[in-house]
Amino acid sequence: MKEYYQIQTKPVCRKENIVEGASYRISILTAGLIRLEYAEHGIFEDRPTQIVWNRDLGACDFQVSDKEDFLEIITDRIHLYYNKKRFSSEGLFIEVEGGFLSSEKVWHYGDNAILPEEDKLYGTTRTLDGADGAIPLDGGLIAMTGYALLDDSNSLVIREDGFVEKRKEQEEDLYFWGYGTDYLTCVQDFYRLCGTTPMIPRYALGNWWSRYHKYTEESYRELMERFSSEKIPFSVAVIDMDWHLVDVEEEYGSGWTGYTWNRELFPNPAGFLAWLHERGLHVTLNVHPADGVRAYEEMYEVMGKALGMNEEDIKNKLPIAFDVSDEKFMEAYFTYLHHPQEEAGVDFWWIDWQQGNASKLEGMDPLWMLNHYHFLDNGRDGKRPMTFSRYAGPGSHRYPIGFSGDTIISWKSLDFQPYFTASASNIGYGMWSHDIGGHTNGTRDDELIGRWVQFGVFSPIMRLHSTNNQFCSKEPWRYRLEIRTVMEEFLRLRHRMLPYLYTMNYRQYAEGIPMILPMYYLYPREREAYEVPNQYLFGSEMMVAAVTTPCIKSLRMAKTAVWIPAGEWYDIFTGLRYHGGRKMNLYRDITSIPVLARAGAVIPFQDDYMENAGENPKQLHIYVYTGEDGDFTLYEDDNITIGYQKEKCVKTRYRWQEKEGCFSICSAEGKADLIPEKRDYIITFCGIKDAQVIGKVMSDGSSTELAVERKENVRVLMKDVSVNETVSLYLKEIVHTENEISDRCFQILDRAEIDNNLKDNIFNLIEAQPEKTLLLHSLQAMELNDDLYDALSEIITA
């Protein structure tokens, strides 16, 4: 195979980390990661597999007690016992330190099949196709017992030339993960073992427009221009299967697979793709490859000849069968079907494989083959590769982005997706893209679409999508004004968040921390962290609780159960400040969802949401959530090449020192030519409503005047700040914001559809009683509706 299909791996474990006998081999990869092999003939596998690429993870301290009929291995995390016979429950078991459910747990060989339901922390699954709510998930790398198992016995091996083949000998090949509650280290070691999650291009973190619909070139242009005129930003244009011929003659079968542009709809494909690129839109085309290449395709004859078809077969229109097990076919598949389209302007491919996991070679899953080779092929010219496809098992994190499939439009589907997205991190899969708004069926529900978009904006990928039903499309102007406004504002917010999202993209690659994490990753010893499945950490600075149920009619607000960890937290939308260490219901109208930033969070946004998503911005808006010291390092690079792998990047540190009241923008480190020479800044100090601001102080001690706004928060405007200077602001005589209980309670009551006299009595009581405990007792005495009381008490006790 071509050189760019040959991967860089370190598949051989260090000899000093191996304990072996005639039929067994035990590799101590880390203190918590043990490879367990059993092969009757003593032939073991040292080549990379479809899952595992690197077994040399460095030196590891361990102790061995090797007796004639029994073996013990001890590390800082595990204690292994083995009787040197064929693996069995009685003869192979491992003690693990530090599980959540007890201080010590014991795994016996075979236990992974009978792990109690309550002990499991699931991973993900191949697809949500047809799902209307929750579906079963595969296991992950972690569990509340403190251990998990990954079975690599049936993986194909990857040859030096880049193709795959079956193992020479069948062996039992298991990876035991014994990390207790150190979930993050477990996942980070998984990346070390199986390969990192590559960075995706910056533009991929913007909004995607996708719809299964028979567009024409003209109608697609008109739609993109409408989005632009409405100031609704998009960065990826997805063109579903109608880009190619679909209404084919009966002799060819279905038109589901295709590679020839429908020139009745798109008369000038190259010109159309160039037009999209000029507007900052990157393009992916949908492909269903299962039916191979039929005689009506433009590239049929040249591809057939390259594969050795004779003139008679070509004349008789024999189809070219799709065969992932054939190396020659796979090379021709890319050379003739995909490279010409990429040269014309296609950026990456949406691989829509739905035909199962069987092929001519036993154990070869066509989906894995497509994901692996499409990703490598897409990066053959040095650009940053990307693919868009379903999950093909452990190791699929190496091929972002994941397409979760065709879901049903329902509240049940929405309610499952936040948990589904966060749990995927338990198998290292951090880049799911969902059909935001749902794909098919269901009933029109404007509120549902609004809430789904809000979740999508706080997801790894934000992609609107729908089926070809003319009543299912997701253009915001097709919904009532209140929902349209929500959709538009959140789509704009997504592009404002790009500096933050791109830094988290780098963090996922460089530090092995997925963009979305379940709460128990940072709080593994807190029971509540396991009880909020739709709440998750969104990067390093934010915590999100998706709203997945309809509004309570009488309040016109939705209720979401949220666990707020100890400390001080701000809602980034409402500004309400919470004292943590408790679980409570948070109420939100349709304009927002609970997104909390901890005190000390520093979050970089950009205000120009219509700026090209593939370019580094001239202006940045930094939100500083005061109350604790804070630190954030913004990461930037060229956004489109693999230069990031060689640290061709620039990093800018932002620092808030609470005690000193000092905010610093440090000079850029790295290749500063990748970003604008000077930048405009807005710094918003959340939690401070007034302060004396001392002008920006340069590294040479000089200072200049600033523009300062004092509204809900102090906001400082700075123009033309050199990226090569360190600049500091000092805030003196600080006045902190209050939660404004009276005003916030008035808003709840004003919105509520309840008796007006009751509203008046409640509000008069709130204004008359400043002592919170007495106020709550008085409200309880009024025997209010539970949700109304709960919503008011959220404000009063925050």
Domain contains 530 = no
CA atoms within 13 A on the CB side of 44: 21
Domain contains 112 = yes
CATH, residue 348: 3.20.20.80
Q: Residue 382 is part of which domain span?
A: 202-494
Amino acid 711: pLDDT: 84
Same domain, 283 and 406: yes
Same domain, 187 and 299: no
Domain contains 763 = no
494, 526, 560 — which closes off a domain? 494
Domain contains 305 = yes
Domain contains 69 = yes
720, 736, 752 — which closes off a domain? 736
Amino acid 704: pLDDT: 67
Length of the chain: 798
Q: If you search the block for the tokens 């805030």, which residue do you land on?
A: 731
Q: If you search the block for the tokens 């047809």, which residue do you land on?
A: 130
Q: What is the dihedral of CA 52, 57, 63, 68, to 10 degrees?
A: 40
Same domain, 289 and 438: yes
Rounded average pLDDT per 10-residue block, the chain, 798 residues: 97 98 98 98 97 98 96 98 97 87 81 66 97 96 93 98 95 97 98 99 99 98 99 99 97 97 98 99 98 98 98 97 97 98 98 92 96 99 97 99 98 99 99 98 98 99 97 97 99 99 99 99 96 98 99 98 99 98 98 99 98 98 99 98 98 98 97 98 97 81 79 94 95 95 98 97 96 96 96 98
Domain contains 372 = yes
Same domain, 632 and 607: yes
Amino acid 216: pLDDT: 98
- Tell me the CA distances in angstroms from 690 to 514, 557, 619, 718, 731, one per residue in order: 37, 31, 24, 18, 9
Cβ burial, residue 795 (10 Å; 0-12/13-18/19+): buried
Amino acid 270: pLDDT: 98
CATH, residue 654: 2.60.40.1180
CA atoms within 13 A on the CB side of 468: 8
CATH, residue 8: 2.60.40
Same domain, 33 and 178: yes
- Cα separation, 630 vs 610, whole angstroms: 29
Spatial neighbors of 318 by CB under 8 A, at least 6 apart, are 295, 309
- Cα separation, 141 vs 430, whole angstroms: 14
Amino acid 100: pLDDT: 72
DSSP code at position 117: G
Amino acid 153: pLDDT: 98
DSSP code at position 95: E
* Helices then strands, each counted (H, E), the chain: 16, 41
Contact at 8 Å (CB) between 525 and 103? no
Quote the radius of gyration of the chain (alpha carbons, Å): 28
Contact at 8 Å (CB) between 572 and 444? no
- Cα separation, 735 vs 691, whole angstroms: 6
Amino acid at 28: I
Amino acid at 729: L
* pTM higher than 0.85: yes
- DSSP letters for 644-712: GGGT--EEEEEEEETTTTEEEEPPPEE-GGGS-SEEEEEEEEETEEEEEEEEEEPTTS-B---EEEESS
686, 703, 736 — which closes off a domain? 736
Same domain, 10 and 50: yes
Contact at 8 Å (CB) between 603 and 656? no
Domain contains 765 = no
Contact at 8 Å (CB) between 68 and 83? no
Cβ burial, residue 758 (10 Å; 0-12/13-18/19+): middle
Amino acid 120: pLDDT: 79
Same domain, 107 and 167: yes
Amino acid 151: pLDDT: 97
Same domain, 232 and 381: yes
Strands 688-697 and 678-686: unpaired
For 713-740, letters b (16+ CB in 10 Å) and e give bbbbebeebbbeebbbbbbeebeebebe
Same domain, 112 and 231: no
Domain contains 594 = no
Amino acid 98: pLDDT: 72
Amino acid 199: pLDDT: 99
Same domain, 141 and 221: no
> How many structural domains comprise the chain?
3
- Cα separation, 330 vs 322, whole angstroms: 9
C-beta neighbour count of 764 within 10 angstroms: 10
Amino acid 97: pLDDT: 82
- In sign, the C-alpha dihedral spanning 375, 284, 494, 465 is negative
Q: Which long-range contacts (CB under 8 A, 24 or more apart) does 359-365 make?
A: 359/323, 359/324, 359/325, 360/323, 360/325, 360/326, 361/156, 361/166, 361/325, 362/166, 363/154, 363/155, 363/156, 363/166, 364/156, 364/164, 364/324, 364/325, 365/392, 365/393
Q: Which long-range contacts (CB under 8 A, 24 or more apart) does 112-121 make?
A: 112/139, 112/148, 112/149, 112/151, 115/139, 115/143, 115/145, 118/144, 119/143, 119/144, 119/145, 120/144, 121/183, 121/423, 121/426, 121/518, 121/520
Same domain, 134 and 210: no
- Cα separation, 587 vs 257, whole angstroms: 47
Spatial neighbors of 385 by CB under 8 A, at least 6 apart, are 198, 348, 375, 376, 377, 378, 379
Same domain, 214 and 330: yes
Which helix (H) or strand (E) segment is 315 a member of? helix 311-315
